[in-house]
Amino acid sequence: MGEGGASYALSFVMVLPLFLVVSLVWIEAGYLLMVKLACNQAAHAAARAAAVWLPMRQPGHDEAQIRLAARLALTPYGRTVPINLPPEPEDWSEEEAATQAEVAGQAFAQISGDEDAAGVIAVKFLDAARRTEVVVSFDSAFDATLNPDGEVEVAVSFRPAALIPWVSAIVQPSSLGKGYHLVQGRCVLPGEFPRNPLRSLSIPYSGPQ
């Protein structure tokens, strides 16, 4: 190899590590962006469930439905092998999550026609549920007067395992030493309150049919 070839090889060796690091950072950042979009969708799904279920005044059941909506939206980002698990969320119930996971797996198998996928979906759901925390709050109108103008707010926190742990600290410094990210989504929706003694929603849809 001549002097020209040696200089090219030296340049390649010097640039390659930087190129690899930048590429891995882009991959981790792209993954984090996808999770952020999913977390926003999960917050919307949970807020929609809250707007429908909370006015029905079924304590315990309505909160479970809200958590279920968020967990289903984040199931694609659950792991089949649980790694870098965060601390248990405050609203965590292993029994509730296991029941929901079984139902989610069966529903997916029925829709897709793939019975073997039920177990995989259930495992991914459980992992996503373990990483998800849902906080519901509502204004005084929602809480006290059954005012249709009342609003419900849902905040979803999701802690997905990092794809490349040492790179994750570059993308999100707060994940240093944890092996998972913290992604949050928030949504505010008007409550859909029962408008008659039978507690049916009776929502007037006036748009095109």
- What's the pLDDT tens digit per position in 50-69? 887 776 665 556 788 899 99
Between 136 and 13, the more confident residue is: 136
Spatial contact of 179 and 161, defined as CB atoms under 8 Å apart: yes
C-alpha to C-alpha distances, 35 to 28, 42, 133, nearest whole angstrom: 11, 10, 15
DSSP 103-125: HHHHHHHHHHS-TTHHHHHHHHH
Does pLDDT of 39 surpass 80?
yes
Tell me whether residue 93 is in a domain. no
Residue 131 is predicted with a pLDDT of: 95
Q: Which two tokens stand for residue 58?
A: 């079924």
Residue 130 is predicted with a pLDDT of: 94
Does pLDDT of 15 surpass 70?
yes
Q: Where do the H-state alpha helices sit in 54-116?
A: 61-74, 94-112
Residue 5 is predicted with a pLDDT of: 53
Tell me whether residue 121 is in a domain. no
Residue 201 is predicted with a pLDDT of: 46
pLDDT band at 197, cuts 50/70/90? Answer: very low
Residue 12 is predicted with a pLDDT of: 74
Measured CA to CA, the distance from residue 7 to residue 55 in angstroms comes to: 72
Residue 2 is predicted with a pLDDT of: 52
Residue 63 is predicted with a pLDDT of: 83
Does pLDDT of 139 surpass 80?
no
Measured CA to CA, the distance from residue 106 to residue 24 in angstroms comes to: 36
Tell me whether residue 125 is in a domain. no
- For the CA atoms of 94, 98, 104, 105, the dihedral, rounded to the nearest 10 degrees, stands at 140
Between 67 and 6, the more confident residue is: 67
Containing structural domain, residue 176: 8-84+132-190
Number of domains in the chain: 1
Tell me whether residue 70 is in a domain. yes
Tell me whether residue 98 is in a domain. no
Q: What does the pLDDT look like over 144-179, one tens digit per residue?
A: 445 555 778 899 999 999 988 888 888 888 888 888
Q: What does the pLDDT look like over 78-130, one tens digit per residue?
A: 999 888 899 998 888 899 999 999 988 888 888 888 888 888 999 999 999 99
Tell me whether residue 33 is in a domain. yes
